[in-house]
Amino acid sequence: MIALSPFDKALARSRSYHAFSRLFDAGITPETLLYATAIGELRDALPEHQNDDQSAVAHQRLFGFNVFAYESIFLSPDAVLGGSVTERVAQFYQHAGFKDGHGETADHIANELALTAFLCGAEADAWQDGQTGEAARMQAVQRTFLDNHLLCWLPGLRLAIQQQSEPFYATLTSLALEVALDHRADLRNDLLAPAARFTLPAAPSLLSSDRTGLRDIAGWLLTPAHSGIYLSRDDISRLGRQHNLPTGFGSRRIMLTNLLRSAAQFDAVPALLAGVQTLLTRWQAGYVALQESPVASARAIGAIWLERLAETASLLNQLSEAAAVWQDETVAPELQDV
């Protein structure tokens, strides 16, 4: 096997991240199909007999209806777009001299991958020009972004997409994570500027208040930074079908609140929470796999998510034991977010 030069590695990574970024942003189009067919795993995962309109619908259903691919959704304590998480990413772009141009907020996965492509491209240019100091500086910026942003939530995005019925995008996300982990392993550690320790916001103490209701539980479960998992609309619908419980329509919060209220009405809260525990087990397996990474920072990130998932498993057990508390809660369907 021929060893790649630092220039070749940086250029290859830049091109890979760029391809991933475009596919996340636009889906499968005549333009991006060229990227997909050039990568064996993606080519094998392409849906058969899907025209452009069907591809657009599939992309919108996944990323516009089910899995919202933003760092702020996965890491902020309120799981909403914008706020301090998005601002930190935007500030990083500014300091790196990068202008995101995909029409999404700064912390969308397409933009974060585009930034990484930009940084790797700048490193390749530096190697080509013989500017080893600039190449090292670009590597340091890459290392910081991977440790403080991309690798903190890309594993969770992969797990969330793996729960959906979109094999192509599940493969795309797995490849993006594989490349990012390999990239980070090649950068090694900077003893002069170690990465800031990744942390998650404190989860709410649901059982400490007798005013906690089913809507509060729904909000907690739908906040990945608090529960450790991501529940899409389709995930919630599947839970409802598994237990013959209605969810209604609307936002994920409306659907999950209605599902919990239906479970309370029909004395099915323990069974429903057991279904959530099954989903939780899949997420735990995903983060356990991350513990096998040679990247110390990735292992540390995985350990923190596993700790949060263990807390969630414990709380689900306690909620199941206290299910009778919600039997008398109003079962009128949730109609709108407030």
Q: What is the pLDDT of residue 94?
A: 92
Tens digits of pLDDT across the chain (338 residues): 578 899 999 999 999 999 999 999 999 999 999 999 999 999 999 998 889 999 999 999 999 999 999 999 999 998 888 889 999 999 999 999 998 655 568 999 999 999 999 999 999 999 999 999 999 999 999 999 999 999 999 999 999 999 999 999 999 999 999 999 999 999 977 655 555 678 999 988 887 777 778 889 999 999 999 999 999 999 999 999 999 998 888 899 999 999 999 998 888 989 999 999 999 999 999 999 888 888 888 899 999 999 999 999 999 998 887 766 555 554 445 545 53
Check whether domain 7-187 has CATH 1.10.3720.10, yes or no:
no
User: Is 70 in a helix, a strand, or coil?
Assistant: strand
Question: What count of Cα atoms within 13 Å lies in the side-chain half-sphere of residue 325?
Answer: 15
Q: What is the pLDDT of residue 271?
A: 92
Residues 6+ apart with CB under 8 A from 334: 215, 248, 250, 253, 254, 257, 258, 261
Q: What is the pLDDT of residue 194?
A: 56
Distances (CA, A) of 258 to 61, 64, 162, 245: 22, 21, 25, 9
Per-residue burial over 117-137, b if 16 or more Cβ lie within 10 Å, else e, is bbbbbbbbbbbeeeeeeebee
Token pair of 69 as six digits:
């691919």
Amino acid in position 66: N
User: Is 258 in a helix, a strand, or coil?
Assistant: helix
DSSP lists the bridge partners of residue 70 as 108
Query: How many Å apart are CA 221 and CA 224, to the nearest integer?
Result: 7
Q: What is the pLDDT of residues 314-330, one digit of tens each?
A: 999 988 877 665 555 54
Residues 6+ apart with CB under 8 A from 296: 189
Q: Answer for the pair 230, 156: CB distance below 8 angstroms, yes or no.
A: yes
Task: Spell out the domain ranges in the chain.
Answer: 7-187, 206-326
Query: How many Å apart are CA 67 and CA 163, to the nearest integer?
Result: 10
Q: What is the pLDDT of residue 335?
A: 45
Q: What is the pLDDT of residues 157-166, one digit of tens each?
A: 999 999 999 9
Q: What is the pLDDT of residue 109?
A: 97
User: Is 108 in a helix, a strand, or coil?
Assistant: strand
